A = this chain, B = another copy of it.
């Protein structure tokens, strides 16, 4: 348990170790950092992580190469920071609100809807969410950083699987394996980061509705869902 709490604190600890020069008012710093993470993630996705230099990122963000080093110490630290940025947003927007829901079915709906909306909100017009896509770039991390990111992913998997087990105990889950069901939901959700176009024919809200229907329909018993209508 202590280990998990430490994992969660990691991004904050890390932010403190970054040299954050006052290039702008203190109040605006988090947004500037967020912007760097988002733009860097996009460049990494387009060029590939290893082929991207810190100069490429500085150019894209619109600051000097020296300027970028005021925010991050190295490309490897930047990759880790982007992953934690993504996981922090997941924590704030999906995990924390979901944990606050006692009813398992409503908690599952919260997870699916909020995660889908979070991914679509960060999707570029090019048709992908660079922060979510980059979350797969585990090969670029140091072993220590990789373990930390993996632990955060595992905590989320545990939340989802525990929710499915609770639904099983309540007789609401179909006869499906909870691990396969959990990863199937993740696959559906995370794939959104690779195909959703913000200027496509469906709005983010409509896509979230469709995904909720498909996801819940795939794993909950029909009578339960009919009863809820």
Cβ–Cβ contact B184 & A214, under 8 A = yes
Cβ–Cβ contact B187 & A191, under 8 A = yes
User: Contacts A190-B191, A217-B217; is A202 near B184 (CB within 8 Å)?
Assistant: no
Cβ–Cβ contact A174 & B213, under 8 A = yes
Collect the chain B residues with CB atoms within 8 Å of residue A136's CB.
133, 136, 194
Cβ–Cβ contact B213 & A176, under 8 A = yes
Instruction: Determine if A144 is an interface residue (Cβ-Cβ < 8 Å).
Output: no
Instruction: Determine if A45 is an interface residue (Cβ-Cβ < 8 Å).
Output: yes
A residues 63-94 near B (Cβ < 8 Å) are none
> How close is A2's CB to chain B, nearest CB, in angstroms?
27
In chain B, what residue has the closest Cβ to A214? Answer: B218
Q: Which of A18-26, A29-37, A46-54 touches B?
A: A46-54
Contact of A139 among B47, B192, B218, B222 (CB under 8 A): B47
Cβ–Cβ contact B191 & A211, under 8 A = no
Residue picked from A47, A186, A213, A222, most chain B C-beta under 10 Å: A213
Instruction: Determine if A219 is an interface residue (Cβ-Cβ < 8 Å).
Output: yes
> How close is A24's CB to chain B, nearest CB, in angstroms?
31
Collect the chain B residues with CB atoms within 8 Å of residue A217's CB.
174, 217-219
Cβ–Cβ contact B180 & A210, under 8 A = yes
> How close is A216's CB to chain B, nearest CB, in angstroms?
8
A101 to B36, CA, bound (A): 50
Collect the chain B residues with CB atoms within 8 Å of residue A214's CB.
174, 176, 180-181, 184, 218-219
Collect the chain B residues with CB atoms within 8 Å of residue A47's CB.
139
